[in-house]
Amino acid sequence: MQPLYRSGSWVVSLLLLAGCASTNVTNRKIDVRGKIARPDRILVYDFAASPADVPAEFRRPDESYQRSTPQTPQEIEAGRQLGAEVAKDLVAEIDAMGLPAVVASGQPGPRIGDILIRGDFLSIDEGSTAKRLVVGFGVGAAELKTRVEGYQMTAQGLRRLGSGEVDSGGSK
């Protein structure tokens, strides 16, 4: 297998794909340095809309998956639809880079060497149309905070490559 690229830089690149009007990457952590082999597949999981949607194999005891305010069933369903769309769009972006990406649902489980990308929405604020129209200047803009993680399947199990949070906002 050929070396793919620096693992930390690809995680950051994937985080930037979530682009909206403005995007800020924070809490970036690179767990693996150096080159990794080009994967046969990149599995992109639907982004989790609620803490209960984060698959057990991706939960880490040192990280919180709890929200500060409870979600309504409507917010969870809208988040799940958005999570599926984000995964689909991310697969298209990765494919456009010439890498073999697929949405994870309906696929066989990860094989050794596969890359796995997952994310969850930490907060979604639709903003206020009235404030945008009346006050202007970015007041009432929509905001989205997302955590994204990249893993590689190894013979010993999942190895986290890196993670980061993306704060996106816009007035549309």
Question: Tell me: the pLDDT tens digits for 53-88?
Answer: 887 777 766 555 556 677 788 888 888 898 999 899
Separation of alpha carbons 149 and 157, rounded Å: 15
For residue 7, the Cα-to-chain-centroid distance in whole angstroms is: 16
What is the average pLDDT score of the chain?
76
pTM as predicted:
0.73
Question: Tell me: the pLDDT tens digits for 128-170?
Answer: 444 444 444 454 455 778 889 999 999 999 999 999 988 876 5
Separation of alpha carbons 154 and 146, rounded Å: 26
